[in-house]
Amino acid sequence: MAQFDLIVIGSGPGGYIAAIRGAQLGLATAIVEKDPAGLGGTCLRRGCIPAKTWLETAHRYDQMSDLADYGVAGVDVSALRADLAAIVKRKNRIVLKNGKGVEFLMKKNKVTVLKGVGRLLGGGQVEVKGETTETHQAKRIILATGSVPKELPGMETDGVRVVNSDHLMDLTTLPGHLVILGAGAIGVEFASVFARLGSKVTLVELMDRLLPIEDASMGEELAKILAKQHKIDIRVKTKIASIERHEDKVVCHLEGDKPGAVECTHLLVAVGRGPVTAGVGLEATKAVVDRGFVTVDAMMATAEPGLYAIGDIVRTAMLAHVASDEGIVAAEHAAQSLGKDVHPHPINYDRVPSVTYCDPEVGCIGLSEAQARERGHDVQVGSFPFMPLAKANIMGEPHGFVKIVADKTYGEILGIHIIGPKATELVASSLALLGGEYTVDELINTMYPHPTLNEAIPEAARAVYGRALNA
């Protein structure tokens, strides 16, 4: 039985960051991973990174359609086609490279990698079942076992015609007609991927708008653009009541605002993800589990002394960057409890950036307009479109807008919501504007370079007071 100060179970962006931070603080650290493909977790192997390679290909493919307008002659764009086998090959190459990077970081930081399925035995013991079964002792344990795509009764995925996001990223034949159930981040990202690559796409969402957890204006604007530019059939306030499976197609029977029978070659079930906590041994501990999620305090500690939980298995946003920060908090608190001179700080979940890499991109930080009103703020909002900006027109993407949610009494910026070109990058630079450090007036008086997309941000601030300069 090997002895460790810290064992991390799961090597996704929460787990491997936690392991590195623990090792940096002088803890003898091990990380457990069951995936025979290697370290990195869902984000690297089947989630964020593979999906973004598909999105980049779709973006470049779409750009090729109007090369002549940019002065690029001699290209027969009618001959272009999407080579899905090549997309998958490139995706695998990028995943492999990044996976080796995670392995290097483990070696560099002297983190012991334990290959196999990790299970809590109680009393600080962790069983690792791989080629052999071993038991290890740890003073502190961080559970970071992640999540998997949710299944729906009657629409269980088969990996051929009814698929989840894992299956879709290894698809080598372009769907003739892809129906997507669920218009959260995963659903709208793949809708914009396959519509641009040439598939007919129908997007079905039970709620009244796309991206239902974001500011309402984001989903409403996204629906308009996806329908107009990508010819996506969008059906909100609608559900798939049942499906018929055939060898060469799936028939989806829809109920709601836009009912009817829709035949498709593939059905993507994208109704969210569920935590992986069954079978990890939590019943051998005092940790509280609520519908699969582990209950933790501000330092990510569970009710079991010395046991922490982070990432998709706790009730916080299922985002890689959230898991990473939670891993740092947990590792630092574990190290502090073992006598190390470190001072962990809890996460402010009101300032978590949310990004969706569809076309156009969506980036949000802070409170939505509805959330701000629910919390009792006297709300003022201002929006400014990308259309008038020279940079957006140069890029050929003059769509979308920046929206600022502010407190009228104090001028505090409560939220920034962006849909349009490079929104996922713009929202990152907007983070410093929240939390009371900046007011609307101070943002108005901040100079931004020209011509850039960033110019929409101070214009949106001016729009809060109804005095945008370029409107």
The torsion angles phi and psi of 171, rounded to 5 degrees, stand at: -70, 130
3-state SS, residue 347: coil
Confidence band (pLDDT; 50, 70, 90) for 301?
Answer: very high
What's the pLDDT score for residue 437?
73
pLDDT of residue 468 exceeding 80: no
**Closest of 317, 344, 312 to residue 328, by C-alpha:** 344
Please give the pLDDT value at position 206. 98
Of 136, 253, 399, 450, the catalytic one is 450
E strand spans, 271-360: 273-275, 289-290, 293-294, 307-309, 354-356
Give the pLDDT confidence score for residue 432 in this predicted structure: 84
Is 321 one of the annotated active-site residues of the chain?
A: no
Q: Quick one: pLDDT at residue 77? A: 87
- The burial of 146, by beta-carbon neighbours within 10 Å (0-12 exposed, 13-18 middle, 19 or more buried), is given as buried
pLDDT at 110: 98
User: How would you classify residue 207: left for phi > 0, otherwise alpha for psi between -120 and 50, otherwise beta?
Assistant: beta
DSSP secondary structure letter of residue 295 = P
**At CA 442, angle to CA 437 and CA 445, rounded to 5?**
150
Using CA atoms, how far residue 154 sits from 157, 158, 381, in Å, is 9, 11, 43
29, pLDDT greater than 70:
yes
Burial class (CB in 10 A: 0-12, 13-18, 19+), 123: exposed
Per-chain mean pLDDT for the chain: 96
At 151, is the pLDDT very low, low, confident or very high (cuts 50, 70, 90)?
A: very high
CA dist., res. 434 & res. 430, Å (int): 7
Structure tokens at 63: 């750009």
Q: Which residue has the tokens 């457990």?
A: 32
Q: What is the pLDDT of residues 384-407, one digit of tens each?
A: 999 999 999 999 999 999 999 999
pLDDT digits (tens, 9 = 90+) for 324-381: 999 999 999 999 999 999 999 999 999 999 999 999 999 999 999 999 999 999 999 9
- Name the CA radius of gyration of the chain, rounded: 24
Q: Which of 313, 298, 380 shows the shortest CA–CA distance to 347?
A: 298
One-letter amino acid of 14: G
pLDDT score for 89 = 98
C-alpha closest to that of 360 among 405, 401, 403: 401
Q: How confident is the model at residue 470 (pLDDT cuts 50, 70, 90)?
A: low
362 residue type, one letter: V
Answer yes or no: are the C-beta atoms of 178 and 266 closer than 8 Å.
yes
Mean pLDDT, residues 57-78: 92
pLDDT at 1 over 80: no
Stretch 142-160: mean pLDDT, rounded? 97
Q: Residue 471 — pLDDT band, cuts 50, 70, 90? A: low
What percent of the chain has pLDDT above 90? 94
- Structural domains in the chain, CATH included, are 3-148+275-337 (3.50.50.60), 162-271 (3.50.50.60), 360-464 (3.30.390.30)
pLDDT digits (tens, 9 = 90+) for 169-219: 999 999 999 999 999 999 999 999 999 999 999 999 999 999 999 999 999
